[in-house]
Chains A and B, each alone.
Chain A
Amino acid sequence: MMNNMLVLPMVIPLLTGIFLIFIRRYIKLQKWISLSAMIVNAGISFYILNRIQSEGILRLDFGGWTPPFGILFVADSFSVLLVLTSSIVTILCLLFAFSSIGKAKENMFFYSFVNFLVAGVNGSFLTGDLFNLYVFFEVMLLASYVLVALGGEKRQLRESIKYVAINILSSWIFLVGIAYLYGTVGTLNMAHLSERIAEVGQTPLLTVISVLFMIVFSLKAGLFLYYWLPGSYGAPPPAVAALFGALLTKVGIYAMFRFFTLIFYHEPSITHTIIGILAGLTMIGGSIGAVAYKDIRQVVTYNVVIAVGFIFVGLAVATPAAIEGSIYYLIHDMIVKALLFLLAGTVILLTGTGRMDKMSGLIRNYPSLGWMFFIVMLSLAGVPPLSGFIGKVLVGQGAIESGHYVLLTLAFLSSIFVLYSLLRVFLNCFWGETIISEEDERPLKKGWVIPCVLLVLATIGLGLGAESIAVYVSDAANTLLNPEIYIDAVLND
Chain B
Amino acid sequence: METLITILSGVLVTVATYLLLSQNMIRIILGSAILSHAANLLLMAMGGFEKGNVPLLGENASGFTDALPQALILTAIVISFGVTAIFLVLAYRTYEENGTDNLEALRGNNDE
Q: Which residues of A contact B (CB under 8 A)?
A: 131, 135, 138, 141-142, 145-146, 149, 152-155, 157-162, 164-165, 168-169, 171-172, 175-176, 178-180, 182-183, 188, 231, 295, 354
Contacts and interface: CB of A to CB of B under 8 A. Distances in A.
Interface in B49-83: 68-69, 72, 75-76, 79, 82-83
A154 B86 contact: no
B7 interface: no
A180 B46 contact: yes
B98 A154 contact: yes
Contact of B35 (A157, A172, A295, A354): A172
A102 B86 CA distance: 23
29 contacts: A135-B79, A138-B79, A145-B90, A146-B86, A149-B90, A153-B97, A155-B108, A158-B94, A158-B106, A160-B94, A164-B87, A164-B90, A165-B20, A165-B28, A165-B87, A168-B83, A168-B87, A171-B79, A172-B39, A175-B39, A175-B43, A178-B72, A179-B43, A182-B68, A182-B72, A183-B45, A183-B47, A231-B108, A295-B112
Given A168-B32, A175-B36, A188-B68, 7 more contacts: A131-B75, A161-B91, A164-B87, A165-B28, A171-B79, A176-B42, A182-B43
A176 B112 contact: no
A354 B39 contact: no
Overall SS of chain A's interface: helix
A380 B32 CA distance: 38
Contacts of A141: 83
B8 interface: no
A141 B79 CA distance: 11
A164 B94 CA distance: 13
A158 B46 contact: no
Interface string B2-38: 0000000000000000001000010010001001100
B35 A168 contact: yes
B53 to A, nearest CB: 19
B20 A160 contact: no
A390 B91 CA distance: 45
Report, nearest first, the 7 A-B pairs whose CB atoms are least far apart: A183-B46, A157-B94, A175-B39, A179-B43, A179-B46, A168-B32, A179-B42
Interface residues on B, range: 20 to 34
A153 B91 CA distance: 13
A155 B112 contact: yes
B93 A149 contact: yes
Given A135-B75, A172-B35, A178-B72, A145 B86 contact: yes
Nearest to B42: A179
A160 B98 CA distance: 13
A179 B40 CA distance: 9
A157 B98 contact: yes
B4 to A, nearest CB: 16
Contacts of A175: 36, 39, 43, 76
A180 to B, nearest CB: 7
Contacts of A172: 32, 35-36, 39
Interface of B: 20, 25, 28, 32, 35-36, 39, 42-43, 45-47, 68-69, 72, 75-76, 79, 82-83, 86-87, 90-91, 93-94, 97-98, 103, 106, 108, 112
B97 A161 contact: no
Given A165-B28, A168-B87, A158 B76 contact: no
A131 B72 contact: yes
Contacts of A145: 83, 86, 90
A158 B72 contact: no
Contacts of A162: 106
Contacts of B98: 154, 157-158
Contacts of B69: 179, 182
Nearest to A69: B68
A165 B32 contact: yes
A3 to B, nearest CB: 24
Given A135-B79, A142-B82, A178-B72, A157 B46 contact: no
A164 B45 CA distance: 28
A145 B91 CA distance: 12
Nearest to A183: B46
A272 to B, nearest CB: 27
A29 B89 CA distance: 29
Contacts of A231: 108
Contacts of A152: 93, 97
Contacts of A159: 108
Contact of A154 (B47, B90, B97): B97
A135 B71 CA distance: 12
Contacts of B82: 138, 142
Given A135-B79, A172-B36, A183-B46, A161 B106 contact: yes
Contacts of A131: 72, 75
Contacts of A138: 79, 82-83
Contacts of B72: 131, 178, 182
